[in-house]
Amino acid sequence: MAGGDSPAETKKGSSKTSKNSKESTLKQKSPAEFFAENKNIAGFDNPGKSLYTTVRELVENALDSSESISELPEVEVTIEEIGKSKFNSMIGLIDRERVDTKLYDDYETDKAREKRLVKEARASEIQAKNLASGKKNKEPGVSKVLKARGEASYYKVTCKDNGKGMPHDDIPNMFGRVLSGTKYGLKQTRGKFGLGAKMALIWSKMSTGLPIEISSSMKSQNYVTFCRLDIDIHRNIPHIHLHEKKANKEKWHGAEIQVVIEGNWTTYRSKILHYMRQMAVITPYAQFLFRFISETPEKNVTVKFTRRTDVMPPIPIETKHHPSSVDLLLIKRLVTDTSKKTLLQFLQNEFVNINKNLAARLIGEMGPDFSPGMAVKSVTSQQMVRIHQLFRQAKFDDPSGDCLSPAGEYNLRLGIIKELHPDMVATHSGSAQVFEGHPFIVEAGVSVGGRDGINIFRFANRIPLLFEQGGDVVTRTALKRINWNSYKINQTQDKIGVFVSIVSTKIPFKGTGKEYIGDDISEIATAVKSAIQQCCIQLKSKIVKRLQAREQQERKRSLSRYIPDATGAVYEVLKQMTEEHTKKRKRYKEEETAMLEKVSKLIITKETLKEKLAEHVEQVDYEMALEYATQSGVSEEPRENIHLQQLNPNHSNFIDLHSPTFVFRLIL
Ligand SMILES: Nc1ncnc2c1ncn2[C@@H]1O[C@H](COP(=O)(O)OP(=O)(O)OP(=O)(O)O)[C@@H](O)[C@H]1O
């Protein structure tokens, strides 16, 4: 409560207490205000990071939306740099030249300017010399005039998708009310908090003062909604500038969101591009077009991540709560919201893994105050505590992972090959596990060869995680808990790629920024370790086979290397023996004599010996290779991954047969 007439102030009269009471005046904050003041917890730490987070929030919404209607996603992201003059004209501010130049932070005294110019001249002289003598220059000759403090860079971020679109009337609340969304249910989605898009708007309001613009149309709607709005931070309600319907001549469905924010492309360029690439890796069935439009056209960037497969993972299914995961508040809410009449029906229908029989047994166990037929709405708060206590102690089957939508080994393998071009790759999809009543699935891929060092790629509900690598369960497991040596992989010398994708109805992110999963949940840590190990086991057998093949090649090579020396030595001995034989100094056995005569008649020469020895090495090698091939089964032919576009995309009647390495579509 604000104002001077709070009870605390009126009761106590002394100036000291009145000061204290003023300090402790009760105030309320709206969620929008809270997140505006603590924007770092949602990933809006600074302009650069805010640009990155804005892009990812919009892209993730776009993918959630397309997938929700089983549409192969097509997402276009454009970041357009807006210079100060353009920005000023956008907001109707007239450009103004500096008058009192000394007032500015980047003001340079004449002396400082002179010093800088001398330094720059010297640097370019050195560069010219280096160039003439063929030496490499350290840095291109950019003069280091720093951007003045407070000089902002502005960007217009646009994200267009071919998704579900949004109902006309819901759009203002979806974008103008913090903590409102359609993804609060128990379902695997990229979005969860009902915050991301609003944070982009709050940031735009804080940095440019400009509203957000939304165009949207739902399937078979004959109009496109256009909405321009900002947010009333103090009341946490949308402030609508324009909300209208336009003709939908092109029968478009999807959404296009546009926001103008302060950002920093230079520092976050690589993070944004990495994010897009990794998103393309884990979502190979989507098509992404990313564009950066600079004020200087040479700096423009266009990257198209083409679709690699038409096969989408199954849509995640909304599920019910597992009895072991509910708290007292949730039980109260479920009791209030349920349409079921009796306690028995309530238990049986509002939770997973409680059938009629178990519901009856549970009610029996609750005590004489409870009965199967009692009205669920009559359950008292005290009785809810009893239900909660029993839920925590009773044994229930684990929730199944059927409601989840893992990326699939096929996609993971595709992603790894695309990203790292490794020599070998192994993938593993774990079975569903449970953490606090929520099912989760860990999938992993490990590759050897390709890009340098150990590269770790993390995904949660199919979102790439790029920050806070150090504390993440995947990084820590890969670096500390896998004994790579035991799988014949050298952690320091080999090029290792580790991909781990975790999906769940609830990803236990640290913070709201969706940046990493802590290392403190033993169920997840164990599942991650086991998935990586399973890949390593597969790799080990491949590596061992490859080592054997290499050893064999090595043996052939070293045997061949000694052929000239060996034949030289043998021939020398034979020559001496022949001399002794002709001079009759020594007697030889019959077969030896026959051979020595061949030497003297030049039937056996150094050359023929060499040929025979080479033939022998070849023969031994061939026999060993044959033996190896029979032992190891079919020989490994070099393979190439290709994506075959379907001939007629209009076939709606088909069955997809999945294998970890390919998908076969049977058109009916
Ligand atoms: N491109 C889009 N297409 C369809 N609906 C969208 C789109 N973008 C946002 N929405 C709707 O607006 C709601 C709010 O989006 P917002 O990004 O604020 O939160 P969220 O995605 O639910 O959760 P999170 O904060 O975890 O990202 C979404 O739940 C969704 O219903």
Asked whether residue 486 falls in the same domain as residue 612, the answer is yes
- Per-residue model confidence (pLDDT) at position 105: 77
Asked whether residue 437 falls in the same domain as residue 570, the answer is yes
Asked whether residue 264 falls in the same domain as residue 344, the answer is no
Concatenate the DSSP letters of all residues of 194-220 into one string: S-HHHHHHHHHHHHT---EEEEEE-TT
Q: Is position 282 within any domain?
A: yes
Residue 399, helix vs strand vs coil: coil
Please give the annotated binding residues for ATP, written as ranges: 61, 161, 182-183, 191-198, 514
Q: What is the CATH number of the domain that holds 442?
A: 3.30.230.10
Provide φ and ψ at 444, rounded to 5°.
-140, 155
The domain of 361 spans 323-398
Asked whether residue 168 falls in the same domain as residue 50, the answer is yes
Q: What angle do CA 548, 553, 559 make, to 5 degrees?
A: 125
Q: Give 149's DSSP letter.
A: T
Q: Which atom from ligand 1 is nearest to the alpha carbon of 62?
A: 1
Tell me the Cα Rg of the chain. 36
Instruction: Please name which of 157, 442, 416, 163 lies closest in space to residue 278, comparing C-alpha atoms.
Output: 416
- Per-residue model confidence (pLDDT) at position 14: 45
Concatenate the DSSP letters of all residues of 228-252 into one string: EEEEETTTTEEEEEEEEEEE-TT--
* Stretches in the chain below the pLDDT threshold 70: 1-23, 134-151, 451, 511-512, 628-652, 660-661
Q: Is position 111 within any domain?
A: no
Q: What is the pLDDT of residues 10-54, one digit of tens each?
A: 444 444 445 555 567 888 899 999 999 999 989 999 999 999 999
* Ligand 1 contact, 59 CB (< 6 A): no
Q: What is the CATH number of the domain that holds 389?
A: 1.10.8.50
Q: Is position 335 within any domain?
A: yes
Asked whether residue 549 falls in the same domain as residue 624, the answer is yes
Residue type, 81: E
- Per-residue model confidence (pLDDT) at position 72: 96
| Alpha-carbon dihedral sign for residues 514, 516, 519, 525 | positive
Asked whether residue 477 falls in the same domain as residue 332, the answer is no
Asked whether residue 483 falls in the same domain as residue 360, the answer is no
Asked whether residue 300 falls in the same domain as residue 335, the answer is no
pTM of the model: 0.77
Instruction: Please name which of 342, 413, 414 lies closest in space to residue 379, comparing C-alpha atoms.
Output: 342
Asked whether residue 301 falls in the same domain as residue 335, the answer is no
CA–centroid distance, residue 513 to ligand 1 (Å):
15
Structure tokens at 52: 């990155």
Q: Is position 409 within any domain?
A: no
CA–centroid distance, residue 333 to ligand 1 (Å):
24
Q: Is position 216 within any domain?
A: yes
CB 516 within 8 A of CB 471: yes
Q: Is position 165 within any domain?
A: yes
Q: Scanning the structure block, which residue is given the tokens 């003598």? A: 133
CB atoms within 10 A of CB 257: 23
The tally of domains found in the chain comes to 3
* Ligand 1 contact, 79 CB (< 6 A): no
Q: Give 210's DSSP letter.
A: -
Q: Is position 101 within any domain?
A: no
Asked whether residue 617 falls in the same domain as residue 506, the answer is yes
- From residue 512, give the alpha-carbon distance in Å to each of 196, 204, 401, 528: 10, 19, 24, 22
Q: Is position 125 within any domain?
A: no
Residue 627, helix vs strand vs coil: helix
CA–centroid distance, residue 175 to ligand 1 (Å):
8
Provide φ and ψ at 609, rounded to 5°.
-60, -45
* Ligand 1 contact, 406 CB (< 6 A): no
* Ligand 1 contact, 160 CB (< 6 A): no
CA–centroid distance, residue 165 to ligand 1 (Å):
10
ipTM of the complex, rounded to two decimals: 0.99
Asked whether residue 174 falls in the same domain as residue 239, the answer is yes
Q: What is the CATH number of the domain that holds 282?
A: 3.30.565.10
Last residue of a domain, one of 238, 273, 305: 305
